[in-house]
Protein backbone atom coordinates (compact mmCIF):
# COMPACT_ATOMS: atom_id res chain seq x y z
CA UNK A 1 0.00 0.00 0.00
CA UNK A 2 1.48 3.31 -1.09
CA UNK A 3 0.10 6.51 0.42
CA UNK A 4 0.13 9.58 -1.81
CA UNK A 5 0.22 13.09 -0.37
CA UNK A 6 1.54 14.73 2.77
CA UNK A 7 1.43 12.79 6.02
CA UNK A 8 -0.32 14.57 8.86
CA UNK A 9 -0.98 12.50 11.96
CA UNK A 10 -4.43 13.55 13.17
CA UNK A 11 -4.42 11.55 16.39
CA UNK A 12 -3.35 8.23 17.85
CA UNK A 13 -5.72 5.40 18.65
CA UNK A 14 -5.43 1.93 20.14
CA UNK A 15 -6.63 -1.35 18.67
CA UNK A 16 -9.22 -2.78 21.08
CA UNK A 17 -7.51 -5.38 23.33
CA UNK A 18 -10.63 -7.57 22.93
CA UNK A 19 -10.51 -7.40 19.11
CA UNK A 20 -9.61 -10.40 16.98
CA UNK A 21 -6.10 -10.13 15.57
CA UNK A 22 -6.14 -10.05 11.78
CA UNK A 23 -3.55 -10.47 9.09
CA UNK A 24 -3.17 -7.63 6.67
CA UNK A 25 -4.61 -7.78 3.20
CA UNK A 26 -4.13 -5.82 0.00
CA UNK A 27 -4.90 -2.46 1.58
CA UNK A 28 -5.63 -3.50 5.18
CA UNK A 29 -3.16 -3.10 8.02
CA UNK A 30 -2.46 -6.20 10.14
CA UNK A 31 -4.05 -5.79 13.58
CA UNK A 32 -2.45 -6.62 16.91
CA UNK A 33 -4.46 -6.23 20.10
CA UNK A 34 -3.50 -3.17 22.14
CA UNK A 35 -1.31 -1.72 19.36
CA UNK A 36 -1.15 2.08 19.14
CA UNK A 37 -1.66 3.41 15.60
CA UNK A 38 -1.21 6.86 14.06
CA UNK A 39 -4.42 8.03 12.39
CA UNK A 40 -3.66 9.62 9.02
CA UNK A 41 -7.18 10.03 7.63
CA UNK A 42 -10.77 9.28 8.63
CA UNK A 43 -11.74 7.88 5.23
CA UNK A 44 -15.37 6.87 5.80
CA UNK A 45 -17.79 5.54 8.44
CA UNK A 46 -16.26 2.04 8.39
CA UNK A 47 -12.52 2.57 7.98
CA UNK A 48 -9.59 4.71 9.08
CA UNK A 49 -6.27 5.06 7.28
CA UNK A 50 -3.52 4.34 9.82
CA UNK A 51 0.22 3.85 10.18
CA UNK A 52 1.76 1.31 12.56
CA UNK A 53 5.08 1.32 14.40
CA UNK A 54 6.79 -0.37 11.42
CA UNK A 55 5.80 2.68 9.31
CA UNK A 56 3.35 0.58 7.25
CA UNK A 57 0.09 2.10 6.05
CA UNK A 58 -3.32 0.56 5.61
CA UNK A 59 -7.00 0.64 6.43
CA UNK A 60 -8.34 -0.40 9.84
CA UNK A 61 -12.03 -0.94 10.75
CA UNK A 62 -13.34 1.86 12.98
CA UNK A 63 -15.16 -0.74 15.09
CA UNK A 64 -11.88 -2.03 16.59
CA UNK A 65 -10.34 1.38 17.36
CA UNK A 66 -10.42 3.06 20.78
CA UNK A 67 -9.42 6.65 21.60
CA UNK A 68 -6.39 7.07 23.87
pLDDT value at 4 more than 90: no
- Residue 12's pLDDT band (boundaries 50, 70, 90)? very high
Average pLDDT over residues 16-35: 89
pLDDT value at 1 more than 80: no
Neighbours of 16 (CB within 10 A): 15
Neighbours of 40 (CB within 10 A): 20
Is the Cβ–Cβ distance between 62 and 31 less than 8 Å? no
Amino acid sequence: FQFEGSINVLTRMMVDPAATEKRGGAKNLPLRRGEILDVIQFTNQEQILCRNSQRRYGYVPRAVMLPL
